[in-house]
A and B are shown apart, each in its own frame.
Chain A
Amino acid sequence: MSGLTEVAKQKIRDLFPCYPSKQAVTLPALHIAQEEARCVTRQAVHEIAEMLELSSAQIHDTLSFYGFFKDEKHPLGDNRIWVCRSLACMLRGGDELLAEVCERLHVVPGQTTADGKATIELAECLGACDGAPCILVNDKLQLRMTADAVVSLAEGRA
């Protein structure tokens, strides 16, 4: 499995002056790696560790704490769609929304659709309770969602 591109490595190096320690670049570096490859490969972990002068285990420790990062066996689809299930969304149909979306796309939360277009995730409070039920598409919030709208987004039709 491939490692980081030179572009990604340069983006990571560019962050060094922002922090008094190289270790602080861990989370930004993991974001850069995952944005590029839709997962963080084992090779990328080694390369980040080398750049930040840490052990691979330290990078992996941080990576695995946040359920956010995917390994190379579970790469993300083209789009990652998080459906909120916390209280404010639950009260306005969040659970039913997640259930219907999963059923129509033949996935359980955490899985990617067969065509590779979308990974469906469950989310704890996304911070858009004023527009419940809400979803997050990659890093963009979408408010007042219906199952039709989410499925359209997942199928790349919206």
Chain B
Amino acid sequence: MSFEPVLLRRRGKPNSQALETYRADGGYTALKNALAMEPLKVIEAVQKSGLRGRGGAGFSTGLKWTFLPKDVQGPIYLCINGDESEPGTFNNRVLLEDDPHQVLEGIVISGYATKSTTAYLYLRYEYGDCYRTCEKAIQEMYANNLLGKNILGSEYSLDIFLHRGACAYICGEETGLIESLEGKRAWPRIKPPFPAIEGAFRRPTVVNNIETMACVTQILDRGPEWFQSIGIPSEHAKDPGSYGPKLYCISGHVNEPGLVELPLGVTARELIDNHAGGVWKGRQAKAVVPGGISMGFLSADELDTKLDFAGPGKVGCLGLGTAAVIVIDDQTSMVDVLYNTCRFFAHESCGQCTPCREGTAWSAKILARIRAGQGTLKDLDTLTDISNSIGIMPGTTICGLADGAAWPIKNALKKFRPEFEEYITSGRRSQSFEVAGSH
């Protein structure tokens, strides 16, 4: 059964970024629909749709909005997390480069629903083209009464400000983002209080992802029932289900890397074979990252795992994450892959919590030693110990990004342990490059 893209419908069309193009394709009717409803009814519609946040944690978007206190006096802030930095992930970049109005319309709708007075779109510095398309789109919105005072003649007013990051992965953590927005080092905060109670500038705040905003637009355009008709229904009372279309990023050793939109629940194998031209050079997949490297690895015999919110967890991965799939072929050393992964987290650990700062640094050092042919089998136990001791699950760190640093180590040593043992006992050395001064 073929699926017609919705979120990516305008991608690659001429002048797809322009307000004129967007409006000609029915754009901003969702906002009109929303403004005709009570804010609470908009929240109910989003809750009813089953939309779960697309940034990685998969928390119910509508439910998050209900955590804001009632009858707030003074400002409420809406922060949009465009600090997309999880290795393998580029869906938000494509959305903002090609179709900024779909996202910005969702921001205004979400602002209206949450009674936010100001929205900040926190954009990673690397996305300069996104910055420029958004800047232009926001100007068009102000000129057409889609932003500013009394939007489309309603009582509702909102400003959106763009805020550029400075190349730090930690700013994707919602309270790290808030600290960064406030002008401080991006050290995540201890929760509670959660941002809904005390967030940006110590005011009630909602933090949502870019793709989530595009989904909000489509839900208010097509209705929650439409959204619920796509994806994988709830499997038991405690499972909120995996509804709606999802943007899957595919990269690594495939013939056709790229971004595809599919109903939640496609398998890794279908993605690789039917949507990415198969594994390159006629090879087989050895391992597949299911949702950004912090989610861990699927082994070759786990490729029929459904990539919905529940699927990756059933085979020991951390979760769906950002649905960024990285394919690793059978000629690649998992020692090199894990070294690259650990080095990433060592570089990006914000340094606030000792277990994460030291654990990520030491895991990278140990893997560098193994790659230099000087590893011992005991090193594998040390790596496992580190992976079991950093994160909010063992209760040693302030933010969950440490769990994401631990997970690829756990999965690699559980699913590929014989390869690590063979590498060490055979005295092999890495064939891959390391530039002097680059560690």
Residues of A within 8 A of B (CB): 18-21, 23-28, 30-31, 52, 61-62, 65-69, 82, 85-88, 90-92, 95-96, 98-99, 102, 108-110, 122-132, 136, 138-141
Q: Which of B60-68, B123-131, B225-233, B368-376 contacts A (4 or more CB under 8 A)?
A: B123-131
Q: Mark B244-285, 1 if CB is under 8 A from A, else 0.
A: 000001111100011100000000000000000000000000
Q: In the bound complex, do residue B252 and residue A95 qualify as a contact, i.e. CB atoms below 8 Å apart? A: no
**Is residue B15 within 8 Å, beta carbon to beta carbon, of the partner chain?**
no
Q: Mark B320-362, 1 if CB is under 8 A from A, else 0.
A: 0000101011001000110011001001101000000000000
Residues of B within 8 A of A (CB): 75, 84-90, 92-93, 124-129, 131, 159, 161, 163-169, 180-186, 201, 203, 249-253, 257-259, 289, 293, 324, 326, 328-329, 332, 336-337, 340-341, 344, 347-348, 350, 432-438
Select the residue from B126, B165, B182, B185 with max chain A CB neighbours within 10 A: B126
Sample of 14 more A-B contacts, CB < 8 Å, known A26-B184, A109-B437 = A18-B159, A18-B161, A62-B183, A67-B167, A68-B125, A68-B167, A86-B340, A87-B88, A91-B332, A99-B433, A124-B87, A127-B124, A128-B90, A129-B90
Q: Which residues of B contact A88 (CB under 8 A)?
A: 87-88, 251-252, 257, 326
Q: In the bound complex, do residue B340 and residue A129 qualify as a contact, i.e. CB atoms below 8 Å apart? A: no
Contact flag A108-B438 (CB < 8 Å), given A27-B164, A87-B289? yes
Q: Which residues of A contact B85 (CB under 8 A)?
A: 124-125, 127
**Shortest Cβ-Cβ A-B pairs, 4 listed:** A139-B128, A26-B183, A65-B185, A129-B251
Q: Which residue of A lies closest to B289 (CB)?
A: A87
Q: In the bound complex, do residue A127 and residue B93 qualify as a contact, i.e. CB atoms below 8 Å apart? A: yes
Q: Which residues of B contact A65 (CB under 8 A)?
A: 168, 185-186, 350
Q: Which residue of A lies closest to B75 (CB)?
A: A20
A87 and B257 alpha carbons, distance in the complex (Å): 14
A45 and B436 alpha carbons, distance in the complex (Å): 32
A-B contact pairs, 8 of them (CB 8 A): A27-B183, A65-B168, A68-B167, A86-B340, A86-B344, A91-B332, A124-B348, A128-B93
Q: Which residues of B contact A127 (CB under 8 A)?
A: 84-85, 89-90, 92-93, 124, 126-127
Q: Which residues of B contact A140 (CB under 8 A)?
A: 128-129
Q: In the bound complex, do residue B432 and residue A95 qualify as a contact, i.e. CB atoms below 8 Å apart? A: yes
Q: In the bound complex, do residue A66 and residue B168 qualify as a contact, i.e. CB atoms below 8 Å apart? A: yes
Q: In the bound complex, do residue B252 and residue A87 qualify as a contact, i.e. CB atoms below 8 Å apart? A: yes
Q: In the bound complex, do residue A86 and residue B128 qualify as a contact, i.e. CB atoms below 8 Å apart? A: no
Q: Which residues of A contact B344 (CB under 8 A)?
A: 86-87, 124-125
A86 and B252 alpha carbons, distance in the complex (Å): 11
A149 and B348 alpha carbons, distance in the complex (Å): 28
Q: Which residues of B contact A31 (CB under 8 A)?
A: 125, 164, 166
Q: Which residues of A contact B164 (CB under 8 A)?
A: 27-28, 31
